[in-house]
Amino acid sequence: MKERLATIKERIQTIAEACHRKAETVRLVAVSKTVPVEIVKEAIDAGVTILGENYIQEAREKCNALISYPVSWHFIGHLQSNKAKYAVRLFDLIHSVDSLKLALEINKQAKKINRIQSILVQVNIAREASKSGVYVEEATRLIEALSPLENLAVRGLMTIPPYFDAPEKARPFFAALRELRDQIERSAIPNIAMDELSMGMTGDFEAAIEEGATLVRIGTAIFGARK
Ligand SMILES: *Cc1c(COP(=O)(O)O)cnc(C)c1O
């Protein structure tokens, strides 16, 4: 575990420095879906500080088991509105907000427990029927609608590009997310930050970093293949 993690951190650092970015501007989200608690503990002991989970029930059990561990939890899966009440209790950042309905529910549930929930808007950059996320042309309108919501803090964008065997093929989709981010940033919508770009997984995170990723979501390279 220690070695695998060190290798990934080194790859992140090398690529960040090669494009004149500070290594600290790229944060590693260790994707622990389906990984047993004991192994997640090893990862935390080896230096993982952010865990990414896809399923609410699984995340609730893990959070409880790891309550005393100094780690930040991010939600990266598809979130149904009726699970928003759990999500706001568990996660520091929800990467996958893809509708006004969901955002309104997160805002409402966050208000109930008196917190401001940080979120990213998920963009379906390649318009794949199988993926969640808003289309590029819908993103600005959604974000404008989120601007007045007092218990939401929009911090940036997230995407999952199509799966390719060659990471270079994912690059144009990462670049497109960055360009969308830049465009939204120029619109200077009140109360909206565009600092975070969540993109890049085991197979393509280096290209994602070169295109501006600030959060890379890596599972397989840390924990091995999922069953
Ligand atoms: C599972 C998952 C990942 C991690 O994928 P790996 O290829 O195992 O690194 C990243 N992002 C999301 C949204 C995922 O569901």
> 56-99, pLDDT tens digit by residue?
999 999 999 999 999 999 999 999 999 999 999 999 999 999 99
CA-proximal residue: ligand 1, atom 6 (nearest) = 219
User: What span, in angstroms and rounded, lies between the C-alpha atoms of 145 and 147?
Assistant: 6
pLDDT tens across 105-125, in order?
999 999 999 999 999 999 999
Give me ligand 1 centre to Cα 152, in Å.
Answer: 25
Which atom number of ligand 1 is nearest to the Cα of residue 202?
9
pLDDT tens across 123-173, in order?
999 999 999 999 999 999 999 999 999 999 999 999 999 998 898 999 999
Q: Which fold has domain 2-223?
A: TIM Barrel (3.20.20)
User: What span, in angstroms and rounded, lies between the C-alpha atoms of 160 and 162?
Assistant: 7
Give me ligand 1 centre to Cα 216, in Å.
Answer: 9
Please tell me the pTM assigned to this model.
0.97
Label residue 175 by pLDDT band (50, 70, 90).
very high
**Is pLDDT of 22 > 90?**
yes
pLDDT of residue 5: 97
Question: Which residues sit with their C-beta closer than 6 Å to ligand 1?
Answer: 31, 33, 54, 76, 160, 201-203, 217-220
The mean pLDDT value of the chain amounts to 97
Phi, psi of 114 (to 5 degrees): 60, 45
CA-proximal residue: ligand 1, atom 12 (nearest) = 76
Which atom number of ligand 1 is nearest to the Cα of residue 33?
1
Q: Where are the domains of the chain?
A: 2-223
Which atom number of ligand 1 is nearest to the Cα of residue 160?
13
Mutate to test the pocket of ligand 1, among 163, 201, 205 (most ligand atoms within 8 A of CB): 201
Indicate the helix (H) or strand (E) that contains 73: strand 72-75
pLDDT of residue 227: 78
pLDDT of residue 145: 98
CA-proximal residue: ligand 1, atom 10 (nearest) = 217
Helix runs in 130-190, H state only: 136-146, 171-187
Provide the β-strand partners of residue 122: 158
Residues 6+ apart with CB under 8 A from 6: none
Mutate to test the pocket of ligand 1, among 74, 206, 217 (most ligand atoms within 8 A of CB): 217
Token look-up 């007045």 returns 148
Mean pLDDT of all residues in 186-190: 97
